Each structure stands twice: as structure tokens, then as C-alpha cells.
Amino acid sequence: MVLDNLGSSLRSSLDTLQGKSRLDEEDVEEIIKEIQRSLLSADVEVDLVMELSASIEERATGEEPPAGTSARDHVLRIVYEELVDLVGESTDLPLEPQTILLAGLQGSGKTTSAAKMAWWFSKKGLRPAVIQTDTFRPGAYDQAKEMCERAEVSFYGDPDEEDPVKIARDGLEETAEADVHIVDTAGRHALEDDLIAEIEEIEQAVDPDRSLLVLDAAIGQGAKEQAREFDDAIGIGGVVVTKLDGTAKGGGALTAVNETGSSIAFLGTGETVQDIERFEPNGFISRLLG
């Protein structure tokens, strides 16, 4: 079964169904409670957990298990289908010339992800360049430059220029030989008006093919507001979830995907440029419930 890594309490409540071919109301209630617990502890937003568990409950009580399927496998399939339905397949990223804008709060992993994504595109045979417009965080320029050197991809930044919009424009010109432009932006510690105004201006200047929201896997209930604000400002076409090598399960990404009507593009799994994976729903959902 796909969900081999289920959390132990969810697994044991499902195991009580072993051998049963029908579910009674109590069974369903018990399982729904466990699913809610797992999703909440994975940082999925409360309203979304309620919505998901309501549709799981409705299907678990309303649908007859197909002949030969145990009640346990039937419920598991429903849980899995509902989550896949929500999280979807990975964001479509054509291997062709394009401009990608990265948005997110400070520390979410934007700069690291920019270099990682450039490395990923270079391995696919494209010629990427990273443009660093973060003039807010000291060290952002050096960090991006160093990582791009390690990834052996083009880089543009200007430590003496304060206007990120000018850097973005100049960067696109200076790296015209590249075919994939990844534009890194400044974050702030919180959602502040100047952050949103700045990223709107950069978005207008670079006219990206897609804007991706970078989220730390450990983001909890704050994912919803962030996703809403960035989506309203620049239109979010996908999510990058970072720091999945830690203990956080990344449920905030589910919230963001739901809020923006987008999907997950990449997963960050470490601090080096190679620590990037394309999103794949099975593994992510197993981890979420694990």
C-alpha cells in the first residue's frame, strides 16, 4: 500500500479494522479523529483539516468497499485519494526558456532554493542564471554568488545598488545569454507592506512566467495568510517547500496550495545545491501522515 509510513496511532486505529468488511459509525469516528490529529500535528491549517476530514468521513460512511477490499484498505484509499486530490501533481515546469520569481519571508530558504533550482535546470541541459535582488538582508549577495559558483551557474547581483527593481532589470540584460532566469527577492521577518510593494514592482519589471512561494516546512498556521498575501500581490503559481530534511512534515505547504490553487514544484532537502527534489505526491503524503 502507498501509505506504508502511517503514524503509529493512525496505523493502530486502522489496524482495528483488520478483517472487517464493513465499518460502523464508531470505527469511522475513531479513524477521523486520528486523521485529524495527524494532519494537525503536521501543521495543516485547522479549517482545511476539518474540510478534509468531513469529505473523508462522508465517503467512508457512504461508499461501499469494492468486493474483496477490506474496510481498512477502503478507508486508506479514501484518505489517500482526498489528499492527492488536494495536493495534486507537481507544478508543471516546462524545460524551456522562462523566468521564475521567488517570493517568501526571510529565512524561508529563497536564496538557497534559487541556486538549487538553477543547478536542477542546468542538469536538465538548460542554461540558468540567478539574479539576486535582495538588498535587504546583509550577506544575501555573497551567499547567492557563492552558491551559484558551486552550482556552476551564472549569477548577477550588485552589492552597491540599493534599488532591487533596477538590479532585476539590469540582471535580465546582463544574463541575456541564459535561458532560465531565476529572480531571488528580499524577504522580511513578517508580512509588511513594503515587502509586498517591493515584490509587486519587481514582478512588473521582470514579468515572470511563474512566481513560486518558498515556504519553510516548519511553517505552521501562518502559511495561509502568507500564501494569500503573496498570491494577491503577484499570483503564486507553485510552492517550494524547504528544510524537509528536518523533522517538520510540511503541512503548511498543503495549506498554501489550497489557498493559492497551485501545486508544489520542488522540495528542499538540505543545505547544498544538490539537495533539491521535484515534488512527488506519494512520498509527501506518506510523510504528512507518518
And the C-alpha cell for 53?
476530514
Whole-number Å distance between alpha carbons of 206 and 170: 10
Comparing every residue's Cβ against ligand GDP, the nearest one is 268
Is the Cβ–Cβ distance between 154 and 178 less than 8 Å? yes
Stretch that binds ligand GDP, among 32-40, 52-60, 118-126, 266-274 (CB under 6 A): 266-274
What is the tally of helices (H) and strands (E) in the chain?
11, 8
Closer by beta carbon to ligand GDP, 262 or else 269: 269
DSSP-H helix ranges across the chain: 8-15, 25-41, 46-62, 71-87, 110-123, 140-151, 164-174, 193-206, 223-234, 251-260, 281-289
Sign of CA dihedral 132, 134, 139, 143: negative
Phi, psi of 131 (to 5 degrees): -115, 120
Give the shortest CB-232-to-ligand GDP separation in angstroms.
20
And the C-alpha cell for 84?
492527492
Only one residue has cell 519587481, namely 202
Closer by beta carbon to ligand GDP, 61 or else 272: 272
269 binds ligand GDP, rule: CB under 6 A? yes
Closer by beta carbon to ligand GDP, 137 or else 169: 137
245 binds ligand GDP, rule: CB under 6 A? yes
185 binds ligand GDP, rule: CB under 6 A? no
Closer by beta carbon to ligand GDP, 45 or else 275: 275
And the C-alpha cell for 93?
515546469
Closer by beta carbon to ligand GDP, 80 or else 230: 230
Indicate which single residue of 53, 90, 91, 112 sits in contact with ligand GDP (rule: CB under 6 A): 112
Indicate which single residue of 104, 128, 157, 250 sits in contact with ligand GDP (rule: CB under 6 A): 104
Looking at residue 246, the DSSP 8-state letter turns out to be: S
And the C-alpha cell for 244?
524537509
Stretch that binds ligand GDP, among 48-56, 121-129, 174-182, 237-245 (CB under 6 A): 237-245
- Annotation-wise, does 209 bind a ligand? no
Give the shortest CB-118-to-ligand GDP separation in angstroms.
13
Closer by beta carbon to ligand GDP, 187 or else 281: 187
- Annotation-wise, does 39 bind a ligand? no
Torsion (CA) 278, 244, 254, 62 in degrees, nearest 10: 90
Is the Cβ–Cβ distance between 277 and 252 less than 8 Å? no
Stretch that binds ligand GDP, among 9-17, 119-127, 262-270, 277-285 (CB under 6 A): 262-270
Closer by beta carbon to ligand GDP, 77 or else 110: 110
- Annotation-wise, does 102 bind a ligand? no
What's the CA angle centered on 79, arms 78 and 84, to 5 degrees?
A: 95
226 binds ligand GDP, rule: CB under 6 A? no
By CB under 6 A, name the binding residues for ligand GDP. 104, 106-112, 137, 143, 187, 242-243, 245, 268-271, 275
Residue positions in the annotated binding site? 104-111, 184-188, 242-245
| Residues placed in the known binding site for GTP | 104-111, 184-188, 242-245
